[in-house]
Structure 1
Amino acid sequence: MKAEALIFDMDGTMIDSMPWHAKSWVEFARRHGITMPADEILRRTTGRTGTECMREVFERELADDECLALVHEKEVIYRELFDATFTEVAGFTDFARQAAQRGLKIAVGTAGDRHNIAFAMSRLKMDPLPLAIVGGDEGLAGKPEPAIFLEAARRIGARPERCIVFEDAPFGIEAARRGGMRAVAVCSSHSPAELAGAHVIAAVRDYHQLARSNFLETLDAALA
């Protein structure tokens, strides 16, 4: 089977942002008197859309407009914290460029909203740009539901079974499985064991490791 497309999650997969999301959750929780520990917040929210996250953290039903205001507050904190030390997951932009040069379609499927997407893309300066970016504020169910990845595949005209999802979180790995896609576990914030699955064809710390393993050159064989 020949691979057609690579679909990348954003936070923790394209950009090394998860420590800063954790710090922003700590500050947000302090402001709102939330006692849930940061590691529990991350476990329950990573991969979910903003409105889903707020309902998880506040542990009650919230109106959509209230959720959106809270999401905006939290993500402003995150962007302010991460801006001065913005970094990609090592080797990402070079890897994505090389994949595109080999004829693979590149897309992004993230639970992040349009503001966080713009923040990341303006700093990554990908060349070429992804053919499609699907965000978490487009009305689709968050991960572990596969809707975001399936929509990314649809927009670029790729068959799900010929897409490889790159993910750093258990919910995202599960979303790839539910969507009928293979996955690469990017172990920037979780261990390989936490991101394991029969559909996971590689588990790496960063994209330099993928390059050293000739991943792109042997991708079709890995799908056979």
Structure 2
Amino acid sequence: MPRYEGVLLDVDGTLVDSNDAHAEAWIRALRGQGIEVSYEEVRSRIGKGGDKMFREVAGIDDDADPRAKAVDQDRARLFLEEFVPGLKGIEGARGLVERMKADGLKVVAASSAKRDELEKLLKIAGVEGMIEEATSSDDAEESKPDPHIVTAALEKAGLAPDRAVMIGDTPYDVEAAGRAGVAVIAVRSGGWDDEGLKGAIAVYDDVADLLANYDESPLGRRAYEG
């Protein structure tokens, strides 16, 4: 196993149980512009950024269609005002971050959320003030599964790809990190099974499961190969 120096940490679905809320906010915001989409169409794409969501479920070019800005603003308002107050952190989130930091690992948030959303989500997870750096959709030209958010997080943390590992909950985390040359530890708490998380070097039920098995995990076996 490589010796990791830092962890890139997804937030939605990994530290906070928020994926269903994101899906509902998208559906309601799209409906407000006369665009009807199914829950399944949207939920299966949570973890991708808004640019991908517009194109794939609504056929909207977010750079050219004025409805895109209206949907984005309404989705953000709905999520922050109606859903965020009821969200809960996933058990083990703070404990895992504490353990990683005690191990000397740099911990960086690498999220597709907008910056104002990310701040609130980190607070809900109980890890605000514990994350050394954070990247959001505001820091990347393209969202997951493009690798830009991951590469931005690496740059902020001063980490080489082979000295970092990402913890995420969606196939889009696995793909984005893989395209950036970063290994992924996946958790099932976002709603995907092992087949959907194929490509991860290890899969756990959630961050509490990873913490409980930390010593045997890729994080606990931090030693140079050879």
Pick the TM interval, shorter chain. 0.7 to 0.9
**Aligned residue in 2 for 1:28:** 29
Query: Equivalences for 1:115-194 in 2 at 5 Å?
Result: 115-126=116-127, 128-188=129-189, 189-194=191-196
- Structure 2: stretches of 5+ with no match in the other structure: none
Residue aligned with 2:48, SS: coil
Distance 1:26 1:40, change over 3 A: same
TM-score, structure 2 length as denominator? 0.87
Residue aligned with 1:194, SS: coil
| Alignment check: 8 A CA contact 1:50 1:137 kept | no
Q: Which moved further from structure 2: 46-55 or 144-153?
A: 46-55
Aligned-pair Cα RMSD in Å: 2.3
Distance 1:151 1:64, change over 3 A: farther
**Aligned residue in 2 for 1:47:** 47
Residue aligned with 1:32, SS: coil
| Alignment check: 8 A CA contact 2:145 2:172 kept | yes
Distance in 2 (alpha carbons) for counterparts of 1:174 and 1:70: 26
Distance 1:121 1:212, change over 3 A: closer
**Aligned residue in 1 for 2:99:** 98
**Aligned residue in 2 for 1:203:** 203
Q: Which moved further from structure 2: 75-84 or 183-192?
A: 75-84
Q: Which moved further from structure 2: 170-179 or 79-88?
A: 79-88
| Alignment check: 8 A CA contact 1:146 1:178 kept | yes
Distance in 2 (alpha carbons) for counterparts of 1:212 and 1:21: 28
Amino acid at match of 2:53: C
Amino acid at match of 1:208: A
Residue by residue over 1:89-147, the C-alpha shift from the partner in whole angstroms, topping out at 9 and shown as x without a partner, is 22111101110111000001111111211221233342652121111123421111111
| Alignment check: 8 A CA contact 2:161 2:180 kept | yes
Residue by residue over 1:161-205, the C-alpha shift from the partner in whole angstroms, topping out at 9 and shown as x without a partner, is 1111111111111111111111011111111111011xx221111
Equivalent pairs counted in the alignment come to 221
1:218 aligns with 2:209: no
- Structure 1: stretches of 5+ with no match in the other structure: none
Amino acid at match of 1:109: A
Q: CA deviation at 1:69?
A: 3.7
Q: CA deviation at 1:30?
A: 2.8
Identity of aligned residues (%): 25
Distance 1:137 1:50, change over 3 A: farther
